[in-house]
Amino acid sequence: MSTDVQAAPAPAPTRAGAGAPRPRRKPLILRIRPWLLLTPALIVLAVLMLWPLVRVFLFSLQDYGLRQIVSGDTNFIGLGNYAEILSDPTLWTVALPNTVVFAILSVTCTVAFGTLVALLMSSLGTFWRSVVGTVIMVAWAMPAVTGTYVWTWIFDADSGIVNRVLMDLGIMSEPFNWFTNPISFYAIVLLNIVHHGFPFVAITVLAGLLGVSKEMLEAAALDGAGAIRRFFSIIVPSLKQVFTIVIILSTIWDFKIFAQVYLMPGGSGSNRSVLNLGVWSYVESFGQNRYGFGSAIAVLLTLVLLGITIVYVRTMLKEEEL
């Protein structure tokens, strides 16, 4: 005897997602907790960085000098300082070329030399790697003022080591002043910047190199890839983020160098052919008492740095998305 089993009726169609449970929203305290933890640091940054930037921008909109400092009055002239800067030949023929060209050269040389040192350190044993790392960090720990005076003494026209050696070798018959010519002046500044900046690049890149797969490098070597091919095909793609960080930081530091130029003979404004944006801003502000004009130069320098950083970061992000 068989029994008929009645099939269960099919459920009525419903709208998509009608029966799906809605995700529960996090409590308010959990959503704002990260911001609460960041608040003290954000307040400190706002006080130490944001407010001074705002004040500099406000000064750049004024004809601000000693009279305004004494009286406390404001003399807003709008974008007059910016118009004067953009029409000043010093910007286009001296300050901007010196700043941009030198930054490109110094970043390239610093990153290249620091990377070579990192590759050398990665091939050493633990003991010698520690010794070399400790030695090169002496250059990093040296204040910019001290390093500048050392390089100034080395190239001094009267008692400098370079002039003395070249004269003893018969290459020169009389002392040469390396600080009067803009090219030799910035060549010395370049040596100073590379000497002071390469330890940061070397240690940072070394940290990334220690994480590169040795199996990949050994496999590439077995396939016949040389050292240069392994570097550009394996190491550079693996350390793209590391190189991005060191290039951005080096660009920011080298664009706004001040002490390395100002403290050298002629760099404080007496030789106007070696002015860069940072020194020009200082000379106009505190040498000519044109604080509004100097502030406008500083704002332009900040905008250039922001533009370079944004373009470079966006380029790197687009490459990662491909």
Domains of the chain, CATH where assigned: 62-321 (1.10.3720.10)
Query: Using one digit for the tens of pLDDT, what is the confidence trace for 132-180?
Result: 888 888 888 888 899 999 999 999 988 889 999 999 888 888 888 999 9
- Name the 3-class secondary structure at 76: strand
Per-residue pLDDT of the chain (322 residues; tens, 9 = 90+): 444 445 555 555 555 545 555 666 777 777 788 888 888 888 888 888 888 888 899 999 998 888 888 887 788 898 999 999 999 999 999 999 999 999 999 999 999 999 999 999 988 888 888 898 888 888 888 888 999 999 999 999 888 899 999 998 888 888 889 999 999 999 999 999 999 999 999 999 998 888 887 888 888 888 788 888 888 888 888 888 889 889 888 988 898 899 999 999 999 888 999 999 999 999 998 888 899 999 999 999 988 888 887 877 777 777 666 5
User: What is the pTM assigned to this prediction?
Assistant: 0.81
Q: Pick from 236, 300, 275, 251: which is nearest to 108 by CA?
A: 251
| Tokens found for residue 281 | 């801003």
What pLDDT sits at residue 320? 62
Query: Using one digit for the tens of pLDDT, what is the confidence trace for 83-112?
Result: 999 999 999 999 999 999 999 999 999 999
281 touches 45 (CB < 8 A): no
What is the rounded average pLDDT for all residues in the chain? 85
99 touches 277 (CB < 8 A): yes
